[in-house]
Amino acid sequence: MKKEGFRLYQVYNDGTPALYEQQPNKYVPITIVHYINSSARPGLEIHGHYEFIYDADENREIHEGRAMMMYRYAEDGEVDT
């Protein structure tokens, strides 16, 4: 791949809707509460953690999960086709 084909990881904003890979190939909808800044060194945020809420959880209990397991939805025009 060419270098231009890569993008730097960017921390998801608070309130971002995403999918969380609970188990291999099992994704559930979540909402990001916030990124835990102390969970990874600068530049290695993909190895850090987020606090999040399962969208189906009526109690809105906050959970913690690895950033590598969370995938936000791409916006219109964001992905090259």
Return the CATH number at 30: 2.30.30.140
Place of tokens 């189906």: 56
Report the chain's mean pLDDT, rounded to a whole number.
Answer: 89
Q: Is the pLDDT of residue 58 over 60?
A: yes
At residue 74, the pLDDT reads 73
Q: Is the pLDDT of residue 77 over 90?
A: no
pLDDT in tens, 24-54: 999 999 999 999 999 999 889 999 999 999 9
Distance CA 20, CA 57 (A): 14
Q: Is 67 exposed, middle or buried (0-12, 13-18, 19+ CB in 10 A)?
A: buried
Does some domain include residue 80? no
Distance CA 69, CA 39 (A): 15
Distance CA 73, CA 75 (A): 6
At residue 73, the pLDDT reads 82
Average pLDDT on 62-78 reads 87
Six-digit token pair at 66? 């690895």
Residue span of the structural domain in which 47 resides: 10-72
Does some domain include residue 68? yes
Domain count, the chain: 1
